[in-house]
Every structure is written in C-alpha cells, then in structure tokens.
Amino acid sequence: MKFADLHTHTLFSDGTYTPEALVEKAGKAGLSCISVADHDTAAGIGRAMAAAEGAGIELIPGIEMTAEYCGREVHMLGYFIDSRNKALNENLTLLRERRVERIYKMLEKLKGMGIKLKAEAIFDLAVYGTIGRLHVARALVSQGFVSSTSEAFNRIIGDDCPAYVLGFKLLPQEAVKLIRGAGGIPVLAHPFTLRDDSLIGGLIKCGVMGLEVYYPEHTCAQRDKYIKIAQQNNLLLTGGSDFHGDAKPKSELGSCKIPYDLVEKLKTARGSNL
C-alpha cells in the first residue's frame, strides 16, 4: 500500500531540513509521495522536485499561506500550485514582509514582559526561510528565557499569550483565490487550531475545497468530527505530519500519513478545477 505525507516544511520556512535531505528522509520512511508546504514561500519547491525525481518519490508542490479570520490565524494549504505564478508570488512576498514587521512587534511585546531578546537571535535562525514564531521560540530557548519551544508557545507566544501578534492582513477568501488562481487546491490546515468549530462553516464558504483531518495533534474524536464535517460539505480529506525537522522533534516525518487514494481524489478535483 502507498502512503503520502502532505504537510512538511524545509529550511525555506521554519523547518530545519534542506529539500534534498527531506526527500531522502521520505524515502527512508517508505513514503511514496510528499508535499512541501512551507509557510508563505514556494522557494523550496524547485529543489524538492528535482530531488524527488531522482529518488522516485512523488512531490506535490504545496504552500501553507497565512490568513486572518475573526481575529485568528488561519493556515491555508494549497496543493498542486504553480510555484511560479505571479500573483501568488507577489502576495507571498508581501506576507513575508509582514512577518518581518510582526517579529519587531513581538520583540516590543517581549520587552514589555521584561524579556530582552535580540532581533539577531531570531533572524540568524531564519537565514534562508520565512520567519515565524518557531524561530522566536528557538531564540527564546537559546537565550535561556525558556527551557523548551513548547514552554515558549504555552507561556509567551502561543495564540492567546501576551507576546502574540497577528498582522498578516490576508483574508481566507483571498488566500483561496490566490491558490486557485495558481491552479492549486485550497485546504484548511489543522482545523483544531481554530479552537472554534463555528468558524469552519465561514471558512468553507470562502471556497476551501478540503480539510486536513489527519493531523498528529488531532484526537480521534476531533479527526472523526472533521471527517464528518468534510463529508457533509463535499470536501476532500487530507493529512500530514507537519514535519519541521529538529525544530519540532515530536512531529516525525510520516508520523501522520494518508493512503494514496486520497491523493488520487485530490488529483481528480484538480482536474475539474483547472
């Protein structure tokens, strides 16, 4: 039986693996297919495609775009995107610029909490990639302010924590339009992070075509609930480990994998979407 892991990151965002090392690891994990879905960048796709071709692994070009909805951060996955699409890339550049501004706002909030973290401690961790909270968490660990990245998220930079900042300025319907405009399939990532299922209906109305129901942090009950919601709304089912390499060691590559027939369904939907 063939398996796929449709949610992975490289060092072009907040993962720690190169695209080549990621593909090699996917082969060793026995995966037939992976998607690189970096935060707000398609920069790793070309290298991942080339490596995958050499390794006999199927690589689905992906993206994880950051949108905002009802004051919350919403991650929108896009599968089978044309990674060179102009409108998509223009907006990804904007998102990355806003992420840099956001880091400075977070630094101000941290300062207000008495945490004097140097900007370089964060930026040095994101030399190649889209900067994000995982880099902030790692900097907080390396500078001795917390003992683990989990503690950083739980106490300081998690969604409801004192140093959290939004600022992406992209609506889910805009993310959906950009992904579809680039030939991709928009899928709502890890729906449990919304922590409010009443928001899912509104997001579905934005044009989402699938739900990431298989996710390491979903309980069985949550998974079953999201499968039901997807079925009721005629949505595709996807899943993946959200592998970030050593930056998030609990989410091993392939730790959440899906049977390949779900990839076939994505492909069929893509055909009717083009």
Residue 171 to residue 70: CA distance in whole angstroms: 10
Contact region with ligand AMP (CB under 6 A), list: 77-85, 132-140, 176-184, 204-212: 132-140
The β-bridge relationship of strands 258-259 and 236-239 is: unpaired
Quote the least distance from Cβ 271 to Fe ion, whole Å.
26
For residues 5 and 14, which CB has a smaller minimum distance to Zn ion in the complex? 14
Q: Please select the residue that binds Fe ion; options are 75, 102, 218, 248, rule is CB under 5 A.
A: 75
Residue 155 to residue 149: CA distance in whole angstroms: 10
Contact region with Fe ion (CB under 5 A), list: 19-27, 57-65, 85-93, 172-180: 57-65
Q: What 8-state DSSP symbol labels residue 243?
A: B
Instruction: Round to the nearest angstrom and report the end-to-end CA distance of the chain.
Output: 29
For residues 145 and 242, which CB has a smaller minimum distance to Fe ion in the complex? 242
Q: Please select the residue that binds ligand AMP; options are 106, 134, 170, 236, rule is CB under 6 A.
A: 134
Q: Which residues of 31-46 are buried (b: 16+ CB within 10 A; e: fewer)?
A: bbbbbbbbbbbbbbbe
Asked if 229 and 200 count as a contact pair (C-beta separation under 8 A), the reply is yes
Under the binding rule (CB under 5 A), the answer on residue 135 touching Fe ion is: no
Contact region with Fe ion (CB under 5 A), list: 97-105, 120-128, 152-160, 189-197: 189-197
Q: Please select the residue that binds Zn ion; options are 6, 7, 14, 168, rule is CB under 5 A.
A: 14
Residue 58 to residue 43: CA distance in whole angstroms: 18
Under the binding rule (CB under 6 A), the answer on residue 7 touching ligand AMP is: no
Put residue 160 in one of left, alpha, beta given phi > 0 → left and psi -120 to 50 → alpha.
Answer: alpha
Under the binding rule (CB under 6 A), the answer on residue 96 touching ligand AMP is: no
Under the binding rule (CB under 6 A), the answer on residue 89 touching ligand AMP is: no
Under the binding rule (CB under 6 A), the answer on residue 244 touching ligand AMP is: yes
Nearest residue to Zn ion by CB is 14
Q: Please select the residue that binds ligand AMP; options are 78, 132, 191, 240, rule is CB under 6 A.
A: 132
For residues 86 and 169, which CB has a smaller minimum distance to ligand AMP in the complex? 169
Cβ contacts of 113 within 8 Å, gap of 6 or more:
156, 162, 163
Taking the CA of residue 17 as centre, how many other CA atoms within 13 Å lie in the half-sphere pointing to its CB? Answer: 25
Chain contacts with Zn ion (rule: CB under 5 A): 14
Contacting positions for ligand AMP (CB under 6 A): 14, 39, 66, 73, 132-134, 149-150, 153, 244, 248
